[in-house]
Amino acid sequence: MENRFEAGTDQWARQLGRLRDAVRQALVATQLDTVVRPPSAVLDVGCGQGTQALRLARLGHTVTGLDLSPELLDRFRGALQDEPDEVRRRVTLVEGAGETAASLGEFDVVLCHGVLMYLDDDDAMLDALVGALAPGGRLSLLVRNGLALAMRPGLLGDWAAVGPALSASGYTNRLGLPARAHTPQQLDEACGARGLRRTHWWGVRVFSDHLPGDAPPGDDIDERVAAELAVSGVDPYRQVAALTHLVYERVYERVYGL
């Protein structure tokens, strides 16, 4: 299966651990920890280098990482080499399309972070993500925020791009890749039709999106993350964040007549 992210893999890997990535991963980590109760069975679809998957395995969760990219899975395997045996034993890596996720079993938590933007059509992926969820399970989606696509060009001083961004549904991202954006309403409808209800909505990178991809975390990274966290669940800030983090719960099917 074609991986539209592939052309951006090297640049993505070079920017791991830099300021914008550090903010993204720190916020998502804190937000996830409010909904993932240990010990859970977690499936990370499009796990890439495994930042969240590895962190969750360290916390005691059993984690399966599924990704199309052999390069990023190798990176993840490399990071696992430095971990104690008990953490390594909790991680299984599978090379393959996220659209096959439902064949891997049922999980308490399914993550799909930074993936939907690279799919022309996300129906098959959403079916697979929901198909992999146990009743009562949680689905965590991290997408490009479709509510405020003019924010990034505006903050970067790319004035000519602001007008078109107001009515756009996609954009060219920092990796130079064409990508789609999603609004909470679009995902609520798509997930609602599949038996899920939204429990959380956060914004990620309200104050840090305009900074260069190679900027280092800086001495004030803890204060920056604290400030980003403070606004991440609050309107109107979450509406203008670069990324939207939504968590859904699979509603238990009611069984009548028992």
Ligand X SMILES: C[S@@+](CC[C@H](N)C(=O)[O-])C[C@H]1O[C@@H](n2cnc3c(N)ncnc32)[C@H](O)[C@@H]1O
Give the footprint of ligand X on this chain (CB under 6 A).
Answer: 3, 5, 12, 46-48, 51, 67-69, 72, 97-99, 113-115, 118
Q: How far is CA 238 from the centre of its chain?
A: 15
Beta carbon nearer to ligand X, 94 or 155: 94
Which residue lies nearer to ligand X by CB, 162 or 211?
211
Nearer to ligand X, 46 or 153 (CB): 46
Interior/surface letters 164-179, b for 16+ CB within 10 angstroms, e for the rest:
ebeeeeebebbbebeb
- Output 76 or 250, the one with its CB closest to ligand X: 76
Q: Give min distance, CB of 14 to ligand X, in A.
A: 13
CB of 163 to ligand X, least distance (A): 28
Taking the complex as a whole, how short is the minimal distance between the CB of residue 257 and ligand X, in angstroms?
Answer: 40
Q: Six-digit token pair at 173?
A: 């991202």
**Nearest distance from C-beta of residue 115 to ligand X, angstroms:** 4
Nearer CB in complex with ligand X: 97/162 = 97
**What is the bridge-based pairing of β-strands 243-250 and 133-144?**
antiparallel
Q: Which is nearer to ligand X, 74 or 223 (CB)?
A: 74
C-alpha to C-alpha distance for 64 and 42, rounded to whole angstroms: 6
Give me the sheet containing 62-67, strands edge to edge: 91-95, 62-67, 41-45, 107-113, 133-144, 243-250, 196-204
| Region for residue 257 given its phi and psi (left: phi exceeds 0; alpha: psi -120 to 50; beta: otherwise) | left
Query: C-beta of 104: minimal distance to ligand X in Å?
Result: 12
Q: Which amino acid is at 221?
A: I
Cβ at position 112, least distance to ligand X in Å: 8
Query: Tokens for 182?
Result: 């999603």
Distance CA 139, CA 198 (A): 9
Q: How far, in Å, are 16, 49, 85, 119, 239 from residue 125 at the CA level?
A: 25, 20, 32, 9, 25
